[in-house]
Structures are given as C-alpha cells and as structure tokens.
Amino acid sequence: MSNKKTDKYKQQETILDELPEHEKSRMDAEDYATTGHEWDGIREFDKPIPRWWLWSYYLSIIWAIGYVIAYPAIPLINDYSKGLLGWSSRGAVSEEISIAKLAQAKYVDALKAASLGDISANEQLMTFAVEGGKSAFAVNCVQCHGSGATGSKGYPNLNDDEWLWGGKLEDIYTSIAHGIRYDENEDTRYSEMPAFLQDEILEKQDILNVANFVRSFSNLDHDANLALQGAVIYAENCASCHGDNGKGDQEQGAPNLTDAVWLYGSDQATLVKTISNSRRGVMPAWSHHLDDTVIKQLTLFIHSRGGGQ
C-alpha cells in the first residue's frame, strides 16, 4: 500500500519536472495545509475564502436587514410586515395608472367634444382614438367579427369596402351605437328580407330559378334557362331592396349580389336556403353597454381599417 503511494508521488515528480516554470511554482504549495482529501493525487487546500468574498457576504446581510425594515417582507398570520417606507406594489401600479389617466384625460376630453370628422382630421387625436378603438374591439367585437375583423359566415368582414349599411363615419357610428335588428334599441337599423318560402310568397321552383339568376350576376355557374325565368321573379320580388342590377341598397342593409363578397355564401344550396328562410342577422346596440367616446373610437378604428368611405 505505502509502496504504491510512493510510486504515485514519484510519478507526480516526473510530471513536475516536465512542467513549465510558472506551472511549477503553483504546484509548490506543500506549505499550505490540506483538508486531507485527496483524489488521484490531487489534494484539497484548507485555505480561507478570499476577503472580498467574505465582505460581500457581510454587505448582503446588512442590505437584507435594511430591506426587511424598509419594505414589505415578512408574512404574518393575517397580514405582512409593511416596511417603514410604506411602499406597496398595488400602490405603485395605481400611481402609474393615475399618471396614465391624467396623460389621457386631455385626449379623452377632446374626443368627447370633437365630431367624428374633426377627430379624423387631427392626426394626434386620430392615433389615440384608433388605438383605443382597437382595444375596445378586442374586448367587445372579436367573438363575432373575428380578431382581425375579417368576419365569418353571417358576420361581415369590416376590413373591405363592401358595406351592408354604409362605410361613412356616420354610417358606421349608427350601426355600432344602435345595432342591427336589435329590438331593444328604438333607432336600430331595421329592414328584413322576407322568408320567401316560409312566408309562402314564392314556390320552391321560383326560388331555384331566382337563385340561378342571382348566380348569373357574378358569372357563377348557372342554368341559363332557369335564370331567365328567375329574372322575372327577381324584378318583382327582390329589386326593391337589392336594386335592378343587384348592386344592393345600404339604406336597407341589402347586400350587393354582384360581387365576390358573400355574407352567407353563393353556392346554390345556400342561396336557396337564404331566399327560402331569410337570415335576419342581429348585432347588439353598443350604446347600451359602452360610453359614447368608446363608440367614437370604435367607429374611427373600423373606418381606418381600409374600408372606410
């Protein structure tokens, strides 16, 4: 056993001989005490930790005591130590909020006072309005119109320049404030397409014919003979709302039937269903839930989405 150990040291000395000078001086550490741990010839010195290190420990302890005294720190049974400075994260947030509110107040007041047209002509106010409208949209409107306001079946896309009820500032404002076919609001937008089959105004075959005629507006596949008969039915039953040439009528919320934008769909089965049963899409009147300033902001936000008129 002891033989083996001396062997090992010998081996180490041979290595030492081959080491460069500066490395050797490092190994010259026999004078330090060791902890007695040794592994594979490597020994562990028993040296105190550096002084700077020790001092940084002491400093952190002093800092921690000061912190505990100055700030909320120790949980108690029903409460916590409040700290001498009286700081709280809740207080900090409400202070930030009131600063932000103060900064916004002048804009909110200006929005309240200005007309939609004035706001849209004022770049600063407009930026503020559109940002506010965007967040109000995310809270109140996305569940129906989609997060990008692109809509879905029965819920119009608000980004394009196809409008059911008009894309001028005032039109959009009215749609939002009073809703669409929303009975609880006196000034709601109202006009309803008859359910031509349910209400026994037209026969099944008439509806098939007029559906073919509607498809002919935008050159979708259709049976020309049926469409020819459909044209007569259209003139008598539909033109009063959708127009002689199918371009629609925003006064009555009647969609343009000649373009590629469809609220419910353009395939024959869907058209037959729309004409037979009608659809009667409903949108809530937001003046019941939202402040007028917010409705203005929403109006400007939607108007700014590219489809404003």
Q: Which is nearer to ligand HEC, 25 or 191 (CB)?
A: 191
Cβ at position 309, least distance to ligand HEC in Å: 11
Instruction: List residues near ligand HEC by CB under 6 A.
Output: 137, 140-141, 143-145, 154-156, 158, 163-165, 172, 175-176, 180, 191, 193-194, 196, 210, 214, 237-238, 240-242, 252-255, 257, 262-265, 271, 274-275, 279-284, 286, 298, 302
Q: Which is nearer to ligand HEC, 35 or 245 (CB)?
A: 245
Cβ at position 284, least distance to ligand HEC in Å: 6
Q: Which is nearer to ligand HEC, 109 or 170 (CB)?
A: 170
Q: What is the DSSP string of the chain?
A: -HHHHHHHHHHHHHHHHHS-HHHHHHH--TTS-EEEEEETTEEEE--PPPHHHHHHHHHHHHHHHHHHHHS---B-SSSB---TT---HHHHHHHHHHHHHHHHHHHHHHHHHS-HHHHHH-HHHHHHHHHHHHHHHHHHTHHHH-TTS--BTTB--SSSS--SS--SHHHHHHHHHH-BS-TTSTT-B------TTTTTSS-HHHHHHHHHHHHHHTT-S--HHHHHHHHHHHHHHTHHHH-TTS--BGGGTBPPSSSS--SS--SHHHHHHHHHH-----B--GGGTS-HHHHHHHHHHHHTTTT--
Cβ at position 154, least distance to ligand HEC in Å: 6
Q: Which is nearer to ligand HEC, 128 or 209 (CB)?
A: 209
Cβ at position 109, least distance to ligand HEC in Å: 22
Q: Which is nearer to ligand HEC, 140 or 304 (CB)?
A: 140
